[in-house]
Amino acid sequence: MSETPPSTSQGRWIRAALVIFPVGTVILGIASFGFWWVKKVKVEERSYKYALALRRDLSESGVKRHVEILQEVMSQEIAQRLPAVAAYLESSMGAENMGYQIRRTRTQFKEVELSNVDVDLTGKQRPREIILFLVVYGDAERQQAEAHALASLLALAHALTGESGTYTLRFAAVPSAHDPEALERLSVAMRAREERVLQVFVPGGVSESSLAAIRTGLRTEASGTVVTPLPATTDVASTLSAAQVMKPKLIEAAK
């Protein structure tokens, strides 16, 4: 009986390996993607359920609590007031209270620490297209209107946590009345993430000059962004009513 030459046997093994190994690599890649996708979906489901558990509907007591705390915080000297407002927004909307991942961008302006604070309800299909609910603050002569505008932001963010739509819904507060570069920093950060703002809602009855600064800072004319000013509210009942009107509008805009 003749034996198969060693070189022929080795050649068969090499040819088999060339066929089997790439197929195995493809299968392993598909399996790895499958495991990653299942894990991602489970994490998103847990995050969604957690956010829903933290959701609180709009209420007079909730708005009143935010207004009272903000009015107390905003009665301080400016060096303490502006950092304290940002800190209150950060703690109120954070993971333990509302379930949001906070972005807080700090800077110094004339020896005062200033922060842009924003949170997202990320869109499922178009996450880089933004519906922005923007509060500008820092004007000492408008503290009451600003406190109510910030309270409406917090109440709406709490009532909508866990909500999902096509577009990203973003709640942001910037001290632009004291810091002329705050809106530009917000815009630069969004451009760095290749985001486009579709619509901006601005509560608090801000002045025409403030609206012009918003349009300039966010470059709304170049992008075709619609800026919608909302009237000021100066008592809890009217702030709650305005938030109740605004909630379905935000949901519809982000669909």
Which residues make Cβ contacts (< 8 Å) with residue 209, sequence separation at least 6? Answer: none
pLDDT given at position 13? 62
Same domain for 26 and 146: no
Same domain for 90 and 148: yes
pLDDT higher at 25 or 224: 224
Same domain for 157 and 37: no
pLDDT higher at 111 or 29: 111
Same domain for 180 and 128: yes
Q: How many domains does the chain have?
A: 2
Give the span between the Cα atoms of 177 and 148, in whole angstroms: 16
User: CB atoms < 10 A from the CB of 127, how many?
Assistant: 14
pLDDT given at position 51? 64
Same domain for 131 and 19: no
Three-class SS state of 212 = helix
Categorize the per-residue pLDDT at 25 as very low, low, confident or very high, splitting at 50, 70 and 90.
low
pLDDT tens for 79-125 read: 899 999 999 999 999 998 999 999 999 998 878 899 999 999 999 99
pLDDT given at position 38? 42
Which residues make Cβ contacts (< 8 Å) with residue 204, sequence separation at least 6? Answer: 135, 136, 137, 142, 145, 146, 148, 149, 230, 232
Same domain for 200 and 132: yes
pTM to 2 decimal places:
0.82
Give the span between the Cα atoms of 245 and 173, in whole angstroms: 20
Same domain for 35 and 79: no
Q: Terminal CA-to-CA distance of the chain, rounded, Å? A: 78
- Asked whether the predicted pLDDT for residue 78 surpasses 80, the reply is yes
Which residues make Cβ contacts (< 8 Å) with residue 5, sequence separation at least 6? Answer: none
Give the span between the Cα atoms of 153 and 243, in whole angstroms: 8
Same domain for 72 and 48: no
**Are the beta carbons of 158 and 98 closer than 8 angstroms?**
yes
Give the span between the Cα atoms of 120 and 66, in whole angstroms: 20
The helix, strand and coil proportions of the chain, stated in percent and rounded to the nearest 5, come to 55, 20, 25
What residue numbers bound the domain in which 28 lies?
1-54
pLDDT given at position 209? 93
Give the span between the Cα atoms of 63 and 153, in whole angstroms: 10
Same domain for 115 and 21: no
